[in-house]
A and B are shown apart, each in its own frame.
Chain A
Amino acid sequence: MDILFDVLRTAIAPSTAAFALAAIGLNFHFGLTGLLNMGQAGFMLLGMYGFAISIQQGWPIWLAVIVGLVAAALFALLLGWPTLKLRGDYLAIVTIAAAEMVRFLGRSQSLKDLTGASSGIRGSDYKAPFEELSPFPDSIVEIGPFSMHGSRSSSWWLTLVTWALVFVCAGLFWRLANSPWGRVLKGVREDEDAVRSLGKNVYSYKMQALIIGGVIGALGGITWSLGNSVQPDSMGRPTTFWLWTLLLLGGAATVFGPLLGSILFWSSLTLVKSLASAFIPSDVLAPTELEPFSLVLVGVTLMLLVVFRPQGVLGNKKELAF
C-alpha cells in the first residue's frame, strides 16, 4: 500500500508536471515541426537562471518569469538563426552543444556572483516571492492519503500552479496544432521543399516553433526549480534524453502524450525503485545501486515499447512513429 502511495505521489508531483511542460515544448519542436532539438534542458536551465537571478536582484516575480522566458526565446533565435536553414540533423548537433554551453557557463567560476557556479543557487534565495503568493497554509496539509507542505518548496501550491500551467500549455498545443498554422508546421515536418513550393516561408515557421517550444521548456525549468534548486548539473544531457523518452512514451504529436508520458515515466521509476528496495535483499543489491538498477529496467521497458508500440501510448502510428 505504501508503495502505491509513493507511486501516486510521484505521479502528481510538481517535478512530474514540470517535465510534462518541457515535453510539451519539445512536442512543438519534434511532434509538430520535426525539429530535432537535443538541448531542451538548456532551455529549461536558461529559464531557471533567468528567473532565480532576477528574483535575487529584487525584481518582482512577474518580471522574473518574463526574464526567464525571454532568455529562452533569445536562445532559440540565436540557435535557429544559422541552423534552421540547414536540414534536421544539424540542429540536433547544435542544440546539444549549445545546451552544454549554457550548463558550463552556469558552472564557470567567472559568473559565480550571479549563478553560484557549480553549487548553483539555493532554493531559499529565490523561492520566497512565489511561496508568499500561496493561498495554502504555511504548514503540512493532508489531502486524502497525501501529505505535502502547503506553500514551501514542493508544495500543494506549486502542484496546483504547475499542473494548471501544464493544462494551459496542452490547450495551447491543441489550439495551434489544429489551426492552419499547425498544418503548415506538419507540412514542414513531412517535407520542407514541398511546403516551400506552396508559397510558405518555411524558415519563419521553423523559427516560430523553436521559440514557442523553447519558451514552454523554460517555463518547465522555472517550475522545476521552484520545487528543487537551481543546479546546472541537474539539467544536463540526461534531462534532455528523459524528455525525449517520455514524449515518445506518451506519444509525439498528441495533446496529452507529454502529460501521460511524464506521469508514466516517473511513476514507473518510483515503482521499480520501491519494489526493488522492498523485495531484493540488500546484500544482492546495495541501496546505492537501486537508482541505476531501476533506470536500467525502465530503459529496457522503453526499448520494448519502441519495438512493439513505436507510436507511444496515445500516438497515431500513421501520423508519427519512431
Chain B
Amino acid sequence: MADTAFASVPHEPGAAKPDAILIADGVTRRFGGLTAVSVDHFEVQRNTITALIGPNGAGKSTFFNLLTGFDQAQEGEGVFNGKPLRGVPSAKVARAGMVRTFQLTKALSRMTVIENMRLGAQEQPGENLLRAFAPPLWKAREREITEQAHDLLHRFKLYEKRDDYAGSLSGGQRKLLEMARALMSKPTMVMLDEPMAGVNPALTESLLDHIVELKEDGMTVLFVEHDMHMVRRISDWVVVMAEGKIIAEGPAGTVMSNPAVQDAYLGAHHDTDLSELSLEDDA
C-alpha cells in the first residue's frame, strides 16, 4: 500500500504527497544569529511511516518541536489534518490528534503506570475542577479509560506492572509506557522523537513491531531516529535534514545512496585524498 501511495511522488526535497496529513511551508526558526530550521516545504503522507533523519545538529528535534507546538517558528505555516498550526499551543495540537513522545523519556515517575495511562486519555469530565467534586459525573468515563488502558498495557506487555511506580521501570519499558500513554488519546498521528534511544536490543524488535502496528491501525507515524537499521526496516519514506534544510527525500534504499546525503553525513571531502587537501592548502 505504501508503495502505491508513493509511486507518483518524485524523490526530491519538499515533494508533494497525494494525501498529505501534515504540511509545513516556509518554516524558519532562528536562535539569535543561528538559523536552526529553514524548511521550504514538507509533507507527510497519511497512514504511512515517515522517518526524519540527519546528522547531529541538523535541526530535526527543533523541527519536531515546531510541528508539535512546543516551540514557535518566526516564519512559516503548518497545516495538520486541515487545521492550521501557526501559534497553536502544544496542548491543542495534541487534542487535535497529533501526539508526540520525547527523546528523553518523560514517564511520570512518581505516578503509577496505570495513572500514567489514564492521564493520556481525552474527554475525562473529571479533569474539570468543578466536576471533579462529583464522582458520578466522571466515574463511568474513568471505567472506560481504565479498560482502554488495560488493553494497551496487555499489548505493550506492561499489564503486570500497572500498579508499580513508573520510576521503577527500565529505560525500555518507559519508552513503551510513553508510547502506550500517547495512544490513550486515540491520535491520528504519532510523532516519535528517537524511539530507540537507550532501548536494549531485546526490546528493539517488539518496539519496531508496535510502530508497524500503529500504521496497521490507521495512524500516521513520523519519527526522528539515528538507528539506520530501524529506519530501513520500518519506514515507507525517509526525509533527510542537514543544517536546518531538507536535502533529500525518498524510500530508504535510494535516499542513502544519494550523494547529497552522504556528503551531509560524512562531510563533502570524505572521498578526497588527504594529500590532495594539503596540496590545495599550499597552493
Beta-carbon contact of A199 and B108 below 8 Å: no
**B95 proximal to A (CB < 8 A):** yes
**A175 proximal to B (CB < 8 A):** yes
Nearest CB of B to A52, in Å: 29
Beta-carbon contact of B132 and A197 below 8 Å: no
Alpha-carbon distance between A190 and B133 when the two chains are bound, in angstroms: 23
Alpha-carbon distance between A195 and B116 when the two chains are bound, in angstroms: 10
**A144 proximal to B (CB < 8 A):** no
Which residue of the partner chain, among B115, B127, B129, B142, contacts A200 with CB atoms under 8 Å?
A: B127
Beta-carbon contact of A197 and B119 below 8 Å: no
Beta-carbon contact of B165 and A198 below 8 Å: no
Alpha-carbon distance between A319 and B166 when the two chains are bound, in angstroms: 10
How many Cβ-Cβ contacts under 8 Å join chain A to chain B?
A: 101
Which residue of the partner chain, among B92, B120, B133, contacts A198 with CB atoms under 8 Å?
A: B120
**Segment of B1-9, B54-62, B98-106, B206-214 in the binding face:** B98-106
**Segment of A73-81, A178-186, A221-229 in the binding face:** A178-186
Question: Cβ of B110: which chain A residues have Cβ within 8 Å of it?
Answer: 186, 189-190, 318-320
Alpha-carbon distance between A198 and B167 when the two chains are bound, in angstroms: 19
Question: Which of A190, A193, A194, A195 has the largest number of chain B CB atoms within 10 A?
Answer: A194
The answer to whether residues A179 and B108 also contact, given A196-B70, A197-B99, A199-B91 and a CB cut-off of 8 A, is no
**A119 proximal to B (CB < 8 A):** no
Q: CB-CB contacts of A162-192 with B at 8 A, as 1s and 0s?
A: 0000000000000110011111101101110
**A269 proximal to B (CB < 8 A):** no
User: Interface size on B (CB < 8 Å)?
Assistant: 42
Alpha-carbon distance between A198 and B118 when the two chains are bound, in angstroms: 10
Beta-carbon contact of B118 and A199 below 8 Å: no
Alpha-carbon distance between A66 and B144 when the two chains are bound, in angstroms: 39
Alpha-carbon distance between A181 and B130 when the two chains are bound, in angstroms: 9
Nearest CB of A to B3, in Å: 32
The answer to whether residues A198 and B126 also contact, given A179-B135, A180-B138, A186-B111 and a CB cut-off of 8 A, is no
Beta-carbon contact of B109 and A199 below 8 Å: no
Beta-carbon contact of A191 and B142 below 8 Å: no
The answer to whether residues A180 and B165 also contact, given A194-B106, A199-B91, A208-B129 and a CB cut-off of 8 A, is no
The chain A residue with its CB closest to the CB of B110 is A319
Alpha-carbon distance between A199 and B182 when the two chains are bound, in angstroms: 10
Beta-carbon contact of A184 and B119 below 8 Å: yes
User: Interface size on A (CB < 8 Å)?
Assistant: 28
Question: Cβ of B138: which chain A residues have Cβ within 8 Å of it?
Answer: 179-180
The chain A residue with its CB closest to the CB of B164 is A318
Alpha-carbon distance between A318 and B168 when the two chains are bound, in angstroms: 9
Alpha-carbon distance between A301 and B119 when the two chains are bound, in angstroms: 38
Nearest CB of A to B132, in Å: 4
Beta-carbon contact of B68 and A197 below 8 Å: yes
Beta-carbon contact of B109 and A200 below 8 Å: no
Beta-carbon contact of A179 and B132 below 8 Å: yes
The answer to whether residues A190 and B111 also contact, given A197-B100, A198-B94, A200-B91 and a CB cut-off of 8 A, is yes
The chain A residue with its CB closest to the CB of B100 is A197
Beta-carbon contact of B119 and A195 below 8 Å: yes
Which residue of the partner chain, among A180, A194, A196, contacts B108 with CB atoms under 8 Å?
A: A194
**B254 proximal to A (CB < 8 A):** no
Nearest CB of B to A144, in Å: 37
Interface residues of B in 168-213 (CB under 8 A from A): 168, 178, 181-182, 184-185
Beta-carbon contact of A181 and B126 below 8 Å: yes
Alpha-carbon distance between A182 and B127 when the two chains are bound, in angstroms: 8
Question: Cβ of A199: which chain B residues have Cβ within 8 Å of it?
Answer: 91-92, 94-95, 99, 122, 185
Alpha-carbon distance between A196 and B126 when the two chains are bound, in angstroms: 17
Question: Cβ of B111: which chain A residues have Cβ within 8 Å of it?
Answer: 183, 186-187, 190
Question: Cβ of B168: which chain A residues have Cβ within 8 Å of it?
Answer: 318
Beta-carbon contact of A180 and B118 below 8 Å: yes
Question: Cβ of B89: which chain A residues have Cβ within 8 Å of it?
Answer: 196, 201
**A98 proximal to B (CB < 8 A):** no
**B235 proximal to A (CB < 8 A):** no
**B124 proximal to A (CB < 8 A):** yes
The answer to whether residues A186 and B108 also contact, given A180-B126, A180-B142, A198-B181 and a CB cut-off of 8 A, is yes
Alpha-carbon distance between A7 and B107 when the two chains are bound, in angstroms: 45
Q: CB-CB contacts of B125-149 with A at 8 A, as 1s and 0s?
A: 1111100110100100010000000
The chain A residue with its CB closest to the CB of B130 is A181
**B90 proximal to A (CB < 8 A):** yes
Interface residues of B in 58-97 (CB under 8 A from A): 68, 70, 89-92, 94-95
Question: Cβ of B184: which chain A residues have Cβ within 8 Å of it?
Answer: 198
Which residue of the partner chain, among B70, B108, B132, B135, contacts A182 with CB atoms under 8 Å?
A: B132
The answer to whether residues A198 and B119 also contact, given A179-B138, A184-B127 and a CB cut-off of 8 A, is yes
Question: Which of B102, B120, B178 has the largest number of chain A CB atoms within 10 A?
Answer: B120
Beta-carbon contact of A180 and B124 below 8 Å: yes
**A202 proximal to B (CB < 8 A):** yes
Beta-carbon contact of B127 and A197 below 8 Å: no
Query: 7 extra interchain contacts, Cβ-Cβ under 8 A, other than A193-B106, A199-B99?
Result: A176-B132, A181-B132, A184-B119, A194-B108, A197-B102, A199-B95, A201-B91
5 contacts between A and B (CB under 8 A): A179-B135, A190-B108, A194-B107, A197-B90, A318-B110
A→B interface (CB under 8 Å) = 175-176, 179-184, 186-187, 189-191, 193-202, 208, 212, 318-320
Q: Which 6 A-B pairs have the closest CB atoms?
A: A180-B126, A199-B94, A194-B106, A179-B132, A181-B132, A190-B108
